[in-house]
Amino acid sequence: MSRSLIKQFSRVFPVLVLGLCALHSEAAGPRKENTSSCVKYSIPASVLEKPFFFAGELVPLQRDEVRARIALQLNFLLLDARSVLMDWLTEKSRYAWIFEESFSKEGIPKDFVLFAPVLAGLSRASSRPAGSGFWALEKACDSSEGIEMSEDSWHDDRLDLELSTKCFTLRLKRIRKDLGDESWLMDAAAYVTSAKTIQDLRQRWDTRSYWDLPLPEPAEDLIVRWIALGIINAHREVFGLKLKKTPPLTFDQITGLSLAKDLSVAEISRIAGVSPREIMEINPKLKPAAGIFPAVEKGKNQSHVIAVPKGKGWIVVNKLKEAGYLASGTKP
């Protein structure tokens, strides 16, 4: 094993769920204007004064119904979901750079970083089967999609930060290709529903504009909520959001680790000198009921990626070697 097996990453915490406003818009014809009985906050004047772009495209704020829809979601986030919003904006700074780095490599707009907390409320908005992880993945990606993920008795790769984000980017890019590389907002709506749903609706209503297309819930609300969240995040002081700065929490990542015997979270925590809870927090793909990294699963030797507290990587590797955990041929 070489030193390249250990990398530094930001610590990850589960995305906080943003609840859903009791007020929903329902399309009747090309577009039904929202009522806004819970409006207290308005779109900042600085946003309205010049062209506003989100996810790489111009948002037509000159249209009354567009402003009303965004204002409704602004007020939902700032009133109904304010405490959760504050928690998300505080925690986001700890690991958002990992999303941004992945999106930058794939040519995906930075605004998609804020799509994760919006997706977290997806299963509460529709009858769609609940997804898992940061990107509400119903199913893990497989080799045919460009990345191999799995879910079994001891782990679920949909909860892994890197793998789940890669899976999300691959699926989003596939949707974008299917829809014609025109609108990231439309692509996001298709991710929430399906590419076929959006294709059928565009043909039925004879429009390719997100703002003119009647969409089924939850896409009708969630995409606008995503935009509202972006406005709030960029104008925190305007909305009176005073958040304490939280420094990134880092960890060492040990990759390509082959085991001679099962390795428990309890043993890792003992070696690293931290609580089992901390090990589980930085290895979110692990299932608490199992709490182990198995040497063999379904008759196949496993190669693991294990996160440990920052600065503990080589300490853990050497201690595992001494205790006989490393498989033959594995050299630290």
Tens-digit pLDDT profile for residues 194-249: 999 999 999 999 999 999 999 998 889 999 999 999 999 999 999 999 887 777 76
Contacts of 90 (CB under 8 A, 6+ apart): 243, 244, 246
pLDDT at 2: 43
pLDDT at 49: 95
pLDDT at 32 over 50: no
pLDDT at 230: 95
Q: What is the mean pLDDT of residues 267-273?
A: 97
At 107, list the tokens: 């040519």
Where are the strands (E) in the chain, listed by range? 6-10, 52-54, 57-59, 250-258, 263-264, 292-293, 296-297, 300-301, 303-309
Counting residues of the chain whose pLDDT is more than 90, the rounded percentage is: 66
pLDDT at 17 over 70: no
CA proximity to 329, closest of 226, 253, 257: 257
The answer to whether the beta carbons of residues 72 and 25 sit under 8 Å apart is: yes
pLDDT at 91: 75
pLDDT at 21 over 80: no
Q: What is the mean pLDDT of residues 284-288?
A: 94
What's the distance, CA 222 to chain centroid?
A: 14
pLDDT at 34: 44
Q: Measured between alpha carbons, how far is 322 from 316 in angstroms, rounded to an integer?
A: 10
pLDDT at 298: 86
Which stretches of 184-305 are DSSP H helices? 184-192, 195-205, 219-234, 265-272, 276-282
Strands 6-10 and 57-59: unpaired
The answer to whether the beta carbons of residues 89 and 240 sit under 8 Å apart is: no
User: What's the alpha-carbon Rg for the chain, to the nearest Å?
Assistant: 22
Query: 53 forms bridges with which residues in the sheet?
Result: 58
pLDDT at 257: 93
Tens-digit pLDDT profile for residues 34-90: 444 457 899 999 999 999 999 999 999 999 999 999 999 999 999 988 887 888 888
Lowest mean pLDDT among 18-32, 134-148, 259-273: 18-32
Q: Measured between alpha carbons, how far is 169 from 174 in angstroms, rounded to an integer?
A: 9
CA-based torsion, 227, 229, 231, 233: positive or negative: negative
Dihedral angle, C-alpha 158, 283, 102, 197, nearest 10 °: 20
Q: Measured between alpha carbons, how far is 228 from 247 in angstroms, rounded to an integer?
A: 25
